[in-house]
Structure 1
Amino acid sequence: MKRTTEFLRHSVEREDRPDGSILLRSTYPLSPVVERTGDWLHQWAGEAPDRVFLAERSGAGWREESYAGILEKVRAIGAALLARGMGANTPILIMSGNGVDHGILALAAQYVGVPVVPVAEQYSLIHGAHGRLREAINLIKPKMAYVVDADQYGEALNLEDLASVEIVASRPGSRNVTAFADLLKGDGSVDVDSAFAAVTPDTVGKILMTSGSTSSPKGVLTTHRMMCVNQAQLADSMPFLRKRPPVIVDWLPWNHVFGGSHNFNMMLANGGSLYIDDGKPVKGLFERTVENLSLKTGTLVFNVPLGFGMLLKALEADADLRQRFFEDLDLIFYAGASLPQEVWSGFERMAMEVKGEVPLMTSSWGLTETAPSALMQQEPAPHSGIVGVPVSGVTVKLLPDADMRCEVRVKGPNVMPGYLNDPEKTAAAFDEEGFFITGDAMLFLDPADANKGMRFDGRISEDFKLQSGTWVRAAQLKLDMLSRLAPLAADLIITGADRNQIGVMIFPNVAELTREGFDLNDDDGAFRCKLLQGEIHRRLSARAREISGSSTLVSRAIVLSQPASMPEGEMTAKGNLNIRKVLARREALLERLYTDDDPAVVTL
């Protein structure tokens, strides 16, 4: 298959140690690293002052801000923050989603040594999710909070927890808050240059809240070193980033490390342009994404598997958009879960039809604590699901079990120094050699050749044993079941810990089921739709004929009538299920799942 996008061949050094652990390192050296994010801004404001850095939709077109213009605004806002006495111990809480003013404020704070803490906008906009917002406020104790629209965020701004916090809004509306425009006036009484010079690689640039899918959210101290090193590692892994300025049209939220550190900083580090997509891969908002792509396409595209599935359908239906989407594309990058192979193959086919070659289609692996990328598939992959090899400067420690399933630990300059105000969890996060304990598992594609890369194999904490003592690898089984039950299931939970059978609790894709003509009737939290139950039974039975062994046999299912609740902590801002919360809150339904005569339960 023809490919012209430049890529880096894997070159890994493997060390098998006497204790059974395995160390993996890239043989490529880490490129020079800038000291702070403001260095990138100065570089591109000097080399390409008029180039667009950030843009957002405005009317029928875009509001575009250049590198030189943003540097000027960053220095003005930095002066305003310093004049207020702000510094390393006075974080700024950012309550709104992606936006040009959000990006400028974050860069200004980092420029003068003030940490920013972006949180999911849902925590402010959904009444029942204010508990999560309060958790963040009480942990970080901000001196300032930013929203794009004070009236829109009014209910959250009325929280007692924010009573002593200065509120800044781009659109103050009817509320008595500080206008973002006032910060842009700056303050001539402070020395911005000295403050910028005092920012070091160890200065905390942002504090990112973990999703809370396995425990209470923690504040990850993210230093300038972490962010700057990781961009050098990414450019080492993808040499084409340094050859021409990248362009993206991107919706991924900046309160997450993938959107806010990986993608945002990739544009800044390489003199690229970030056009903010105000759509999302959900019904009613994805149409906005298509509209935005009709106005602007990029050289790189990032998305989650669900988003790529929706995008593939949109491209199939629009020949003009398909042509413009692929004609200048260097990279298709997915994250968050494995990309379904049929979606992967669809993009390959379409790229060949449009331009006769396939861009680099790839993924990586990492966490908020690793800034994020620690492993990356640098060279073209034969199929979806491969996360590659260590990036430059990172050492990965693998602890294999008898089946060569490896627990993953990481050491490198892109790894966090710790969690905010939590020395106990910080200490517990590292092993005796200083490796960060990720809790994730990997498998070698080829145990005899580390250069073939690795694939993600779930969270160690999600695995469980049946009563028989058989281990169930829940994460991989979940992916298989989601594929088998598509499009009936929006999400699901694998059950069976300390029981004699594996079950599945299904959150249905209600819109899809309604379109398919299923008449859903709920009863005590579970759907009792004979047609739907019959279809699930058919699919479970077909699967059972294809597999062997109790560790993968799913023999019972129940369809839940109530969606996962963010206010109750069942769902994180990323859209991930908090499995422990769901099982605890729906304990009665879990018991019903293991009752043979319940009419809501499907059994083999």
Structure 2
Amino acid sequence: MTNTAHTTEQHAARIFLSQARRPDLANTPRLYTRGPAGSFQPLLWSDLARDVERLCAVLIELGVDVDTRAAVLSDTRAEWGVAGLAIVAARGTLVPVYPSLTDESLVYVLSHSQTRVLFVEGQRDLERVMRLWPKLALEHMVAFDEVDHAAAAAASGVDEALVRERALSYSTSVGARGAALCARDPRLVEARLDRARGDDVAYMLYTSGTTGAPKGVPLTHDNVGSNGDDWVKINGPLIDEGDRDLLWLPMSHIFGWGEFCLGNQLAMQTYVSSPASVLDDLSEVRPHIFMAVPAYWEKLAKTAITTAGADASEDARRAELLRVTGGRLRFCLSGGAGLTRDIKDFFYSAGMLIIEGYGLTECSPTLTLNRPDDFDFDTVGKALPSVELVLADDGEILARGPNVFAGYYKDPEATAAAFDDDGWLHTGDLGRFTERGFLQIIGRKKEILVTAGGKNVPPANIELRFASDPLVSHLVVYGDGKKYLTALVDIDESAARALLGDEQSRLSRAQLRAAPALHAEIQARIDRVNNTLARYETVKAFVVAPEPFSVEDGLLTPSLKIKRKQIYARYAAQLDALYR
């Protein structure tokens, strides 16, 4: 059955439960996950709906209600989806948390959001969070996997009685405990859903700013629901009920969570994968739908070209690409950063149109999309039906619509800076419209790097960690649209000569800056900083600038701040060489 109808329902849990109660869907698979034997096993709509309702009942018993924050700290898995739906069904606010966060960042997000309930994967996460327990306002945790409370207490130094009291079992919650609560009050969950409002805050997402701590972005059911409905109006006709979707993106990102929710709305059969297995799963599952960040589309293209062989014809390369991707892809979506034209052309030549768009977390997240029947590969598409876009005098993209958030959580100054008096959100991105009305992104007004994996990285947060290093005059992080971050390093030559000793005192500037011992010392210092960062924030390679930065050469402002755009332009060749 082709998806052509649109729903006025904006609530993710209501949409899911309504679909799960359809007689033609209830006893059919909604998800497939790897079982103990390694093969994909089906999870029925009806079974997942039962688990959502039971877990929701437990959350209600724990006091979750409107404005209660409940977080999920986990890689993508079926239980992630159940937990997320149960949280919003209870009128709570879902706070997705990246497992890769450092302890410092994890404490900040959970504390700033005032999270009371936290879902974790298993033993390792339980022990980690219990070590941080005194710094948090948490009341309960729920572990997806079975855990050893005594071992967690011993590893974290927390009283075992506290661990047993606060760390609940997911299997018990969706089993006996949840079943008893639902049996006692069969309308418990429905009554809570009846009270839900479109302006309830459904999600609290944390996005990095240019400096300082990440900002909380509250999104309501109406925000996200309107964006989803626009998406379905544009792309729904491409997707049939029962189509196979391979979900491997992190559900802690709005891209991955959105894919899961759209699967509920469009009645897909979603196979849950992971970054480690997605390449093999593509050829096994042979999905009709695949969503990925640019870095992975690039990997698929490179895999096909390499496997086909250096002397292979274009037809042979296209045939290999079809084999690698399963040969049935009908809907391909790329998001999180820009995808290069050559990759889009290669897939299109093999019969696969990769749809690309543009958006921000603050916009739930999509503002523009290329349409299946109206696209321009050199652009990010046209505005969604309910979105208004204009350009400011300086070319900054301004947005307005029901998908746009109302303001940052507990940050009135950032909110005031984000909106003008007419209610337009200032995106910080610069753009232009083509004659046909397609939007092109031409730069960023704000200094945020977006990696090819879709991670937002404020470079200043990394660079500031080197500000007090006597050896490093300036370190400039690079990597917008790249698979990983690199850096350009300007050294303090006096400190470098002192570090290297007398034998280096007569080296020329070029010899000094190329000295292996100096490079080894810089690498050691970068390694120490990397150990304090999330994996996607780490600097993987560097190059030393051949000349010191100065005001006179246009690389520093009069107040000795770096001029990022000019530095990138001057050293683009050296920095890009680090990716070869």
32-41 vs 193-202, which deviates more? Answer: 32-41
Matched, 1:110 2:88: yes
Matched, 1:143 2:128: no
Residue of 158, 161, 168 corresponding to 2:131: 158
- In structure 1, distance between residues paired with 2:61 and 2:118: 16
Determine the structure 2 residue equivalent to 1:364. Answer: 357
Determine the structure 2 residue equivalent to 1:35. Answer: 10
Q: Amino acid of the residue matched to residue 168 of structure 2?
A: T
Residue of 11, 36, 44 corresponding to 1:66: 44
Secondary structure of the 1:158 match is helix
- In structure 2, distance between residues paired with 1:242 and 1:296: 16
Determine the structure 1 residue equivalent to 2:226. Answer: 229
Residue of 472, 485, 489 corresponding to 1:491: 485
Matched, 1:169 2:147: no
Matched, 1:182 2:160: no
Question: Where do 1:339-378 residues align within 5 Å?
Answer: 339-349=339-349, 351=350, 358-378=351-371
Q: Amino acid of the residue matched to residue 270 of structure 1?
A: L
- In structure 1, distance between residues paired with 2:141 and 2:62: 13
- In structure 2, distance between residues paired with 1:385 and 1:564: 40
Determine the structure 2 residue equivalent to 1:426. Answer: 415
Determine the structure 2 residue equivalent to 1:265. Answer: 261
1:298 CA displacement: 1.6
**Distance change (3 Å), C-alpha of 1:380 and 1:192:** closer
CA contact (8 A) 2:3 2:266 kept: no
Runs of 4+ more than 6 Å apart: 318-321, 478-483, 588-592, 601-604
Give deviations 1:32-56, integer Å, cap 9, x for gaps. 5213112211232133113332333
Matched, 1:206 2:203: yes
Structure number with greater CO (CA < 8 Å, separation at least 6) is 1
Give deviations 1:133-181, integer Å, cap 9, x for gaps. 0111210122211111123552233212247531210223212321101
Q: Amino acid of the residue matched to residue 49 of structure 1?
A: A
Instruction: Structure 1: give runs of 5+ residues left out of the alignment.
Output: 1-5, 9-29, 124-128, 280-284, 352-357, 464-473, 497-519, 529-558
CA contact (8 A) 1:430 1:437 kept: yes
Q: Amino acid of the residue matched to residue 112 of structure 1?
A: A
- In structure 1, distance between residues paired with 2:530 and 2:112: 20
Question: Where do 1:534-553 residues align within 5 Å?
Answer: none
Q: Amino acid of the residue matched to residue 365 of structure 1?
A: Y
Matched, 1:309 2:294: no
1:244 CA displacement: 3.6
Matched, 1:299 2:298: no
Determine the structure 2 residue equivalent to 1:562. Answer: 526
> Where is the helix percentage greater, Structure 1 or Structure 2?
2
1:232 CA displacement: 0.8
1:192 CA displacement: 1.8
- In structure 2, distance between residues paired with 1:560 and 1:398: 45
CA contact (8 A) 1:340 1:384 kept: no
**Distance change (3 Å), C-alpha of 1:228 and 1:51:** farther
Determine the structure 1 residue equivalent to 2:325. Answer: 325
Question: Where do 1:86-97 residues align within 5 Å?
Answer: 86-97=64-75
**Distance change (3 Å), C-alpha of 1:592 and 1:565:** farther
CA contact (8 A) 2:477 2:487 kept: no
Secondary structure of the 1:345 match is helix
Secondary structure of the 1:157 match is helix
Secondary structure of the 2:222 match is helix
Q: Amino acid of the residue matched to residue 11 of structure 2?
A: R
Determine the structure 2 residue equivalent to 1:551. Answer: none
- When normalised by structure 2's length, the TM-score is 0.71
Secondary structure of the 1:387 match is coil
Matched, 1:334 2:357: no
Q: Amino acid of the residue matched to residue 141 of structure 2?
A: I
Q: Amino acid of the residue matched to residue 347 of structure 1?
A: F
Give deviations 1:305-344, integer Å, cap 9, x for gaps. 2111211233453868834835322222222222223322
- In structure 1, distance between residues paired with 2:85 and 2:531: 31
Determine the structure 2 residue equivalent to 1:393. Answer: 386
CA contact (8 A) 1:442 1:456 kept: yes
- In structure 1, distance between residues paired with 2:376 and 2:405: 32
Secondary structure of the 1:252 match is coil
Secondary structure of the 1:457 match is strand
Determine the structure 2 residue equivalent to 1:45. Answer: 20
Instruction: Structure 2: give runs of 5+ residues left out of the alignment.
Output: 150-163, 309-318, 449-458, 460-475, 491-513, 554-569, 575-580
- In structure 1, distance between residues paired with 2:256 and 2:420: 29
Give deviations 1:58-110, integer Å, cap 9, x for gaps. 34212432222111111111111111222123211211121111110110111
Secondary structure of the 2:429 match is strand
- In structure 1, distance between residues paired with 2:217 and 2:521: 40
1:526 CA displacement: 6.6
**Distance change (3 Å), C-alpha of 1:339 and 1:72:** same
1:31 CA displacement: 5.5
